[in-house]
Amino acid sequence: MNTYKLHFIPLGGIIGVTKNMYVYELYENDKLKDILIVDCGIGFPLEKELGVDFIIPDITYLRDKVDKIRAIILSHGHEDHTSALPYHYTALGRPPVYASKLTSVFVENKFKEFNQHIKVNEVDYAKEYQFGDFRINFIRMTHSIPDTMHILIKTPVGNIYHGTDFKLDLTPPYGHSPDFYSITKAGHDGVLCLMSDCLGAERPGLTLSESIVGQTFEDEMRKTKGKFIMTTFSSNISRIRQCVESAIKFNRKIVFLGRSMRENTRLAAEIGYLPIPQSLTAKEEDLNRLPPNKICLIVAGSQGQYGSALSKLAHKQNLHVKIKPGDRVFFSSDPIPGNENEVYTLIEELVVQGADVIYSDIADQLHSSGHGNQEDLKFLARFTNPQYFIPIGGTVRHQQQYEKIISDMGYNKDNFFLLEEGETVWFGQGKKGYKGDTIETNNIYVDAYGVGDVGNVVLRDRKTLSTEGIVFAFLIVDNMGRLTDRPRIFSRGFVYEKGENRLFEQATQLIEQITKPKREKILDVHNIEREVISDLEEFFYKERGRRPLVIVEVVQQ
């Protein structure tokens, strides 16, 4: 008789909100048989991770198991669930990819940007799919983007309900309501473990319907005398469509700012998800010829990203659009945890220019979260009635709050697994769940120059440059390591020019002491560099209380 085990491995998204990637491994008689991957998204850098554009999951664990990967499933079209796939797809063996209609369009277009090709299989909700010994049903769900899915993963060990980002929206402005029949049927048939979104676990009640926001757009646009500017995620097509419909009602010309915003809205329009009359669209360069009260701008950059379309508006870098008194800027999204400083800094810049800035801290119903509040989470737990719970897609505090509210419903706290990235869970015979070994994972940084070239040392140096400055020392030595000329020292961003002379004269004397021959044999140039760097760092800290990045170049004649 064959025995099966199921292994759950979060390679991203478990406590970082973004960079979602989840791996399910099925073992038969202790041999790895099948792998299923759910999502493959990017993460956003912290403020201290200077120069990093975004982060992608570490797939090192999977590299020697590529032949076992049966499929990749993408739950919805947000970038933190899809946009790392072009970086990893070839390394993962190019397995078949399955997604809903809008998600498929977004992903195929993302691959084109990388000069790659992929054909995503559009899912049929009425069909059960077989990937090795995994059997999969897709369940319609509501979120802040249309065509979001939950995934029922049936295995010989038991059924897993993968309930990524969701809210229970009974009146979505477009698309289908949640498929409550399939959700409750899954619970009736038996769910071994619920992987549940937990980002809204601190908020009481039910999440507002997305339709609420549409009425807010209409009410506020009616009383806006200048330009109406709305910012949200560029993939939030439902929110964008409601803003477009309000603009149509008030005969405002619609302009999309930001490459991602233009591209996503173009794709959504092509498949009928974003109908816009041609007569009410305008180009960015035509805005100077339009009266402000006839303009509606829908802008990317709601998370305060440096260089985004909204950032350029706030910093007066857009050639065609200037913020003026009477303009109203709506932040129709909340900051992702960790992005608060960037968002509030942007708000300050817009206010200084005279804009009336409206955001969720000072007004209600500007944004309806795509993540379920406590009652949404309780409903999903009760409908599926699982044996085990694993909260995903939140931070540590969200996980702990999720455990509290669900255990208050009578579920045993021993049946919760609060994981960190790389921590794994096994489900074995008798449907027993237990923690497994931790898989080593690292952040893979992506910047303008490549993937994975930025490591901790590079980030440390960038941080030092931004705060402490840099000092260069140029030394010419003979084959005994003796100076043949006085060292040359200069700096950038370290000390004011008038204060350099005395300080650098002392530093020069220190270098001369270091390079005096200590013994009658040829000295190693690299040893000289290391010793000079170490002593200069200590000297500058003692004299100025700062540790600049010290670079020493030694040339041996």
Active site residues: 197, 371
Indicate the burial class of 375 (C-beta count within 10 angstroms; 0-12, 13-18, 19 or more).
Answer: middle
What is the amino acid identity at position 256?
A: F
Contacts 24+ apart (CB under 8 A), 427-434: 427/5, 427/6, 427/7, 427/8, 427/157, 427/158, 427/192, 427/193, 427/388, 428/5, 428/6, 428/157, 429/3, 429/4, 429/5, 429/157, 431/157, 431/158, 431/192, 431/387, 433/192, 433/193, 433/387, 433/388
Give the residue among 374, 424, 371, 372 at the shortest CA–CA distance from 401.
Answer: 374
Residue pair 224/267 in contact (Cβ under 8 Å)? The answer is no
> Rounded CA gap, 314 and 299, in Å?
12
Tell how strand 488-492 and strand 31-38 pair up.
unpaired
H or E stretch including 103? helix 101-113
Helix 211-222, helix 237-249: angle, nearest 10: 30
Question: How buried is residue 474: exposed, middle or buried, by Cβ count under 10 Å (0-12/13-18/19+)?
Answer: middle
Q: Which among 520, 537, 540, 539 is positioned nearest to 529, based on CA atoms?
A: 537
Per the structure block, which two tokens stand in for 183?
């959700």
Q: Return d(Cα 56, Cα 369) in angstroms, integer.
A: 24
Measured distance CA(136)–CA(61) in Å, rounded: 24
Q: Terminus-to-terminus CA distance in the chain, angstroms?
A: 76
Alpha-carbon dihedral 151, 152, 156, 157, rounded to 10 degrees: 90
Q: What is the DSSP string of 385-431?
A: --SEEEEESS-HHHHHHHHHHHHTTT--GGGB----TTEEEEE-GGG
Measured between alpha carbons, how far is 148 from 174 in angstroms, rounded to an integer?
12
Rg, C-alpha atoms of the chain: 28
> Which are the contacts of 86, defined by CB distance < 8 A and separation ≥ 6?
110, 111, 113, 114, 116
Yes or no: say if 332 and 358 are a contact pair by the CB < 8 Å rule.
no
Q: How many CB atoms lie within 10 A of CB 527?
A: 11
* Chain centre distance of CA 123: 25
